[in-house]
């Protein structure tokens, strides 16, 4: 188990996160802009103070272990079971939490009465069956993104979600990332004007492979590289960013065109290592999505382009088109937003245009440093994942469903799958009527 | 001459393009408006007011008023009244608008109270003949021209204050190019507005903190990039001292005029000028 010091730290982190958001959005305003956080107020957190969510992990590979490390620091979580059919990963996980019971068949594990919540971190092609089985077994369920490998599976999960009284979460951590929440709320308050375009990208320079001890394990370990088990760069990376794009637009695109190729990593893989997609919203706004894994110069990012300015959400910074607000005034505004009374450093000899620097960034959260290069194949620190898993554990205790998370994951996964279809069939693909759900606004 | 003139006019036009930007921060009931390229600098306004529509309409009025005054005071603008006065007054009696006349009369008064150190002609205000009866202006010297550079922002801020007071906006901070600040009411989480003065020669070094409430602040000083922009009208020498002066007064026009005059004045002159302004708070920072 973790030390007391760590335990306290995470508890405080989640409380601080919610508290910070309170400052950002101002009490009740928070609840309307980020409905999925309604259940996580500081008051509600203290109600579950002495209770623990008994959770099990299915899939104890790199992402599963990442969640385990976060769970060990969450006071209201207890890892009671681990399941994997690949013994080395199960062993590593078991070493991290020796008290947890181990399984190699998840169905057996789901029969256990000692498990309240299940966290699924398996290859994409297993998501649907496992989520459905877990809900059917009466377990609260968390599943990593994307939702599933096919549109039919996504629809089946969505329908099961409508029927179940259990809690269902998906790993859309940007919904729990402070800089995204604040950045998006600034966009929605009109800071950068009307959204006129969105550019998303994720660039890396690595082969996306894990070492394989013996050749017959290739497809099992490198499941991301084959269509039977993966949607490739869309379902693994783009899904987060397409979700952000929809969050900004408050609607979802009606069609997509794109091209995908294997440009560099010609090593027997099936999924593209270079994709370029254009999603079209009904109002004419387009989201362009680019991903390449043989050049990392551009890293990752989502640029929301407005007629008054540009927000770079991942970097937590924004730029104005014409007018750069005076830094002192900006500091004053930031402090008022944080309810801080401080001195404004503005006075001095006259400001003249020549002393102003062009296109200086302004920061969504002052002093914020948590940005990521997008290079990690497991998960970045402070990207909202810890808050998300902590929130799930709280829901496991209270049984309270979090709003919109399933719908958001459904939307972005569908867009990934439609993007893949557009690239494979080399044509424009419209969002099919049979997969539209009431939540979606086009 | 036709060609270069046209180019110059085009360049001046580009520099004179005013861009206004505004944003309302709902959670804080804070309105921020920004206007670029106004009187050679920029203006930022912050209102604390729950009525967003009121803020927006007050901002539009403020922008309109600033643009009007910019035009009136801009001696480079061939359509401005002051351009016409500067051009014609050496040879004829030019009929002036009520507003221009009253501004010049005030300037004359401050010229006397500042012992000649505030001077809109930068050389010889005595050569400007203001005929109040016929409301005309004429220059008795050929090379005289009027430049409102040392008081236009202050005058404009007083006008902005009127707009705010009429609209019943109680808490506001207006920063006109950092050198002229108008503070109405107080910060939402404090009982005044606190402003700090930065050393322009050492970025980040704060030379003073000033608390403002329902007063105007004006700063004069040199910057490393602009050492020659304040002239002593008596000696025609640039004031190149590495120093800043600040003055707090009841109105912005007076504050701006005094800051320039006191930047030029020596210690003795400063004392004599200040003897006419009991309520003004003056500070000098040698950098």
> Which residue among B25, B32, B225 sits closest to A354, beta carbon to beta carbon?
B225
**Is some CB atom of chain B closer than 8 A to the CB atom of A133?**
no
Q: Is A193 left (phi over 0), alpha (psi -120 to 50) or beta?
A: left
> Domain spanning A190-322+359-377+406-435 has what CATH number?
3.30.360.10
- In order along its 442 residues, chain A shows pLDDT tens digits of 333 444 444 445 555 666 665 554 444 555 567 888 877 766 777 777 788 999 999 999 999 999 999 999 988 999 999 999 999 999 999 999 999 999 999 999 999 999 999 999 999 999 999 999 999 999 999 999 999 999 999 999 999 999 999 999 999 989 988 889 888 988 887 778 899 999 999 999 999 999 999 999 999 999 999 999 999 999 999 999 999 999 999 999 999 999 999 999 999 999 999 999 999 999 999 999 999 999 999 999 999 999 888 999 999 898 887 655 677 888 888 888 888 888 888 877 776 655 444 567 777 776 655 566 777 766 766 678 888 998 899 999 999 988 899 999 999 999 999 999 999 999 999 999 999 999 989 9
Report yes or no: B154 and B106 within 8 Å, Cβ to Cβ.
Answer: no
Tens of pLDDT, residue by residue over B150-175, are 899 999 999 999 999 999 999 999 99
Determine the residue of chain A that is closest to B242 in CA distance.
A349
Q: Output DSSP code: residue A231.
A: -
In words, the CATH class of domain A4-175+382-402 is alpha beta
**A155/A238 Cα distance (integer angstroms):** 20
To the nearest whole Å, the CA of A328 is away from the closest chain B CA by 9
- ipTM value for the complex: 0.81
- Give the residues across from B102 on adjacent strands: none
Contact A169, A141 (CB under 8 A): yes
Adjacent-strand bridge partners of A277: A258, A289
As a whole number, the mean pLDDT across chain B is: 88
B93-117 pLDDT tens trace: 999 999 999 999 999 999 999 999 9
Q: How far is CA A360 from the centre of its chain?
A: 28
Of A318, A304, A311, the C-alpha closest to A245 is A304
Q: Which two structure tokens, joined as six digits, stand for B192?
A: 């005044």
- Per-residue pLDDT, averaged over B207-223, amounts to 91
Distance between CA atoms of B40 and B182, rounded to whole angstroms? Answer: 18
Closest CA to A62 of A145, A121, A146: A121
* pLDDT for the residue numbered A6: 42
Of B24, B34, B217, the CB nearest to A347: B217
Cβ within 8 Å, pair A189-B173: no
Residue A244 host element (H or E)? helix A239-249
Q: Over A168-190, what HEC string results?
A: EEECCHHHHCHHHHHHHHHHHCC
Whole-number pLDDT of residue B15 = 43
Chain A residue with Cα closest to B206: A345
Whether the ω angle into residue B284 lies within 30 degrees of 0, i.e. cis, is: no
Distance CA A182, CA A176 (A): 10
Q: Using alpha carbons, select from A165, A130, A124, A160 the residue that is nearest to residue A395.
A: A165
**DSSP single-letter state for residue A214:** S
pLDDT band for position B67 (cuts 50, 70, 90): very high
pLDDT attached to residue A24? 46
Q: Is the distance from CB of A37 to CB of A30 less than 8 angstroms?
A: yes
User: What is the interface size between A and B, counted as CB pairs within 8 Å?
Assistant: 139
pLDDT for A4: 41
pLDDT on residue A328:
82
Domain layout of chain A by residue ranges: 4-175+382-402, 190-322+359-377+406-435, 325-358
Asked if A28 is an interface residue toward chain B (Cβ–Cβ < 8 A), one would say no
- Where are any strands of DSSP class E within chain B? 19-25, 30-38, 41-48, 94-95, 128-131, 136-139, 171-176, 180-184, 193-198, 206-212, 215-221, 243-249, 281-286
Contact of A131 with A68, CB cutoff 8 Å: no
- Nearest residue of B to residue A22 by CA position? B27
Strands B94-95 and B41-48: unpaired
More confident residue, B37 or B9: B37
* pLDDT for residue B200 is more than 70: yes
pLDDT at A217: 95
In chain B, which residues have their Cβ closer than 8 Å to the Cβ of A308?
21
SS3 content of chain B, % helix, strand, coil (to 5): 35, 30, 35
- Could you tell me the pLDDT band of residue B17, with boundaries at 50, 70 and 90? low
> How many angstroms separate the CA atoms of A251 and A244, rounded?
11
């Amino acid at each position: 188990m973790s030390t007391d010091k760590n335990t306290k730290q995470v508890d405080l982190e989640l409380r601080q996160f919610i508290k910070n958001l309170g400052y950002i959005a101002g009490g009740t305003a928070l609840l309307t802009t980020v409905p999925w956080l309604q259940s996580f107020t500081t008051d509600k957190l203290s109600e579950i103070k002495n209770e623990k969510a008994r959770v099990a992990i299915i899939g104890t590979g790199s992402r599963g272990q990442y969640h385990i490390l976060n769970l060990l620091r969450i006071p209201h979580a207890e890892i009671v079971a681990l399941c994997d059919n690949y013994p080395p990963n199960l062993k590593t996980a078991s070493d991290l939490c020796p008290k947890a019971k181990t399984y190699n068949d998840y169905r057996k594990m789901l029969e256990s009465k000692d498990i309240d919540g299940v966290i699924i971190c398996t290859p994409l092609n297993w998501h649907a069956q496992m989520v459905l089985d877990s809900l059917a077994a009466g377990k609260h369920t968390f599943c990593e993104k994307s939702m599933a490998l096919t549109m039919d599976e996504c629809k089946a999960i969505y329908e099961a979600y409508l029927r179940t009284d259990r809690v269902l979460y998906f790993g859309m951590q940007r919904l729990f990332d402070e800089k995204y929440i604040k950045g998006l709320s600034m966009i929605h308050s009109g800071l950068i004007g009307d959204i006129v375009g969105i550019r998303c990208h994720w660039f890396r320079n690595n082969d996306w492979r894990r070492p394989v001890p013996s050749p017959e394990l290739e497809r099992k370990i490198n499941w991301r590289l084959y269509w039977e088990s993966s949607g490739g760069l869309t379902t693994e990376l783009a899904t987060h960013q397409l979700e952000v794009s929809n969050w900004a637009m408050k609607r979802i695109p009606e069609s997509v065109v794109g091209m995908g190729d294997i440009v560099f990593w010609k090593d027997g893989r099936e999924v593209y290592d270079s994709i370029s997609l254009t999603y079209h919203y009904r109002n004419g706004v387009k989201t362009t999505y680019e991903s390449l894994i043989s050049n990392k110069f551009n890293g990752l990012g989502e640029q929301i382009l407005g007629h008054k300015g540009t927000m770079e959400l991942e970097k937590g910074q924004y730029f104005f088109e014409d007018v750069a607000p005076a830094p002192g005034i900006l500091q004053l505004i930031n402090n008022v937003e944080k309810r801080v009374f401080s001195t404004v450093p503005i006075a001095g000899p006259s400001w003249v245009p020549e002393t102003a620097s062009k296109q200086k960034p302004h920061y969504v959260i002052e002093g914020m440093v948590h940005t990521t290069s997008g290079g990690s194949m497991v998960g970045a620190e402070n990207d909202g994942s810890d808050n998300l898993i902590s929130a799930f554990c709280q829901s496991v205790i209270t049984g309270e469903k979090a709003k919109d998370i399933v719908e958001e994951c459904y939307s972005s996964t569908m867009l990934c799958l439609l993007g893949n279809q557009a690239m494979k069939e080399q044509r424009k693909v419209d969002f099919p009527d049979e997969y539209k759900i009431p939540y979606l606004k086009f | 001459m036709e060609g270069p003139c046209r180019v110059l006019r085009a360049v001046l036009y580009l520099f004179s393009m005013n861009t206004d930007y505004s944003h309302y921060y709902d959670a804080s009931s804070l309105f921020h408006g920004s206007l670029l390229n106004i009187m050679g600098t920029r203006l930022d306004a912050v209102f604390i007011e729950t009525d967003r529509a009121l803020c927006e309409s007050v901002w539009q009025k403020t922008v309109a008023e600033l643009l009007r005054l910019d035009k009136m005071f801009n001696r480079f603008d061939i359509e401005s009244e002051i351009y016409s006065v500067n051009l014609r007054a050496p040879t004829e009696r030019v009929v002036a608008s009520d507003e221009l006349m009253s501004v010049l009369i005030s300037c004359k008064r401050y010229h006397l109270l500042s012992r000649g150190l505030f001077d809109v002609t930068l050389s010889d205000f005595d050569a400007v003949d203001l005929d109040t009866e016929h409301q005309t202006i004429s220059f008795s010297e050929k090379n005289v021209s009027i430049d409102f550079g040392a008081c236009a922002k202050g005058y404009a801020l007083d006008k902005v204050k009127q707009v705010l007071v009429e609209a019943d906006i109680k808490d506001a901070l207006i920063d006109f190019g950092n050198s002229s600040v108008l503070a109405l009411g107080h910060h939402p989480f404090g009982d005044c507005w606190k402003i700090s003065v930065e050393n322009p020669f050492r970025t980040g070094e704060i030379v003073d903190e000033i608390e403002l409430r329902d007063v105007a602040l004006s700063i004069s000083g040199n910057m490393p990039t602009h050492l020659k922009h304040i002239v002593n009208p008596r000696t025609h020498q640039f004031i190149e001292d590495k120093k800043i002066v600040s003055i707090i007064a009841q109105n912005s026009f007076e504050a701006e005029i005094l800051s320039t005059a006191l930047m030029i004045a020596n210690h003795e002159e400063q004392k004599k000028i200040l003897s006419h302004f009991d309520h003004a708070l003056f500070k000098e920072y040698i950098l």
